[in-house]
Chains A and B, each alone.
Chain A
């Protein structure tokens, strides 16, 4: 009876803070046309390089200032968030589905399946990811779907490795043998006994991967390889901000802060989720 259960069931501040920021950013992105104070594409050279609201010379309605073409920074960030979240969800989910399925098969079935999948993963991981991404987009052509596809193609290995290791250690558990005794087949055992136990790691990794996808998308926009140049993305705003860093630092700093907060929130949210669902394991 002295096996005191580690009580981590409560919602940690980490989960609240990270989840709160993500929810806020997500809602803003979904309802961008409603919440954005200005048209993100509207240029007005009379309003160029307005500072954020607390500095002298700021205009009401342009809370974070404007860029060198007079476009409202806050509105651009909000609309940029749409691209960021679409890429995050679509790319991370695809990578997760491919990687987890292959990892589960490799780890639980072992043998030939494992040997083939593991070799492919080894080869895959030998490619430098960012260069690989740039190369892929160059081949696939720019555009939202190419970016998503590129990230999924590169990052499924991350899921595959973690899930494979988890499934391998699960496969050694007595409850797997016990399921055989109960009359379960291999697929049944994989779904009933193995999958639920690797799920928390999958969720944590999925959230982390969303953050990574946001970064990769920003990098691709930064080098102008993402989507068409008109739509604002965080990466393209950073790229523009870099050019006017001495005249208008805010154009660089605010998108950077947004990016960092979002990526950090994704990883922290994932960790917090895992901690919340894991304590039954001892």
Chain B
């Protein structure tokens, strides 16, 4: 069986020639959750955007391939690519407020995608979203559907967006820091919901996050990113049991743990970062894009 998502040697540059993705390779198998973890500027959101075909105009992909269920996106024309991405993937965004149009009711925003992109009838779409709202444990769907986004709490909005993401039965969901804006108790509920729906629907998830704690709880596989480069990839359990790369070890040691306050929150050793930066600079010097 082919991978749900397969990225091979993806590199991207800014107009000034600076590389923002450095030969990134990663795959997500059907039904699996892969975490993509890194600090700000690591390029994790960029990869998510590349998968969804919504990279900013200034970012140019200069090499590499991206396959969704075995189909090479590079070989499709723009329209076919959009259709394929639209039918097989979905996004759970970071900020549930800006992801929803403030002047439209929830109902029309949720059915929109099903009707417009998948060509469902309004009735079928309506039935489907009610079913999903039930799955994300929204008790009063009537009220929620009639609401405007600002009338719902942050957690409620994120539930709506999760329901919308799963509604079209995508094969792959990109979850871009879906709980970063939420309080910790709400975060736990939302993570639980995502895990529940992910198991029930057998959806693969590319889970973008900066929080190693979240990585440990939600993912089976993980790729650690630094400056647009995958520095380590492993089974999640393996990564925490025996991190291979110095940067991964430093990141784990820096993450706070209230159970062990003095073994955590260790400042990252400057030499680790310096070594990594030098390594990347050296590789950049050698690097020539293979095409494009």
Contact = CB atoms under 8 A, between A and B. Distances in A.
A2 interface: yes
B41 interface: yes
A7 to B, nearest CB: 10
Nearest to B20: A2
Interface in A1-47: 1-2
Nearest to B277: A1
Interface string B169-193: 0000000000000000000000000
Contacts of A1: 41
A1 B40 CA distance: 10
Contact size range, A: under 10
Contacts of B41: 1-2
Nearest to A1: B41
A126 to B, nearest CB: 29
A177 B40 CA distance: 27
A2 B20 CA distance: 10
A119 B40 CA distance: 46
A1 B18 CA distance: 14
A199 B40 CA distance: 32
Nearest to B41: A2
B46 to A, nearest CB: 12
Interface string B22-53: 00000000000000000011000000000000
Contacts of A2: 40-41
Interface residues of B, number: 2
A276 B211 CA distance: 39
Nearest to A3: B41
Nearest to B16: A4
Contacts of B40: 2
A32 B34 CA distance: 76
A69 B41 CA distance: 71
Interface in B88-147: none
A124 B235 CA distance: 69
Interface in B166-219: none
A15 B85 CA distance: 45
A252 B40 CA distance: 61
A2 B41 CA distance: 7
A39 B136 CA distance: 86
B56 to A, nearest CB: 14
A2 B277 CA distance: 13
A122 to B, nearest CB: 26
A112 B40 CA distance: 44
A1 B41 CA distance: 9
Nearest to A2: B41
A2 B38 CA distance: 14
A2 B19 CA distance: 12
A153 B40 CA distance: 51
A66 to B, nearest CB: 54
A2 B280 CA distance: 15
A2 B46 CA distance: 14
A1 B39 CA distance: 12
B272 to A, nearest CB: 16
A2 B43 CA distance: 11
Nearest to B227: A2
A2 B40 CA distance: 9
A9 to B, nearest CB: 16
A69 to B, nearest CB: 58
A1 B273 CA distance: 13
A206 to B, nearest CB: 33
B118 to A, nearest CB: 38
Nearest to B18: A4
Nearest to B40: A2
A28 B85 CA distance: 64
B280 to A, nearest CB: 13
A261 B102 CA distance: 44
A159 B40 CA distance: 39
Interface in A171-220: none
A88 B219 CA distance: 67
Interface in B151-176: none
B288 to A, nearest CB: 23
A226 B86 CA distance: 65
A115 B41 CA distance: 44
B71 to A, nearest CB: 33
A273 to B, nearest CB: 25
A79 to B, nearest CB: 49
3 contacts: A1-B41, A2-B40, A2-B41
Interface of A: 1-2
The 3 nearest A-B residue pairs measured at CB: A2-B41, A2-B40, A1-B41
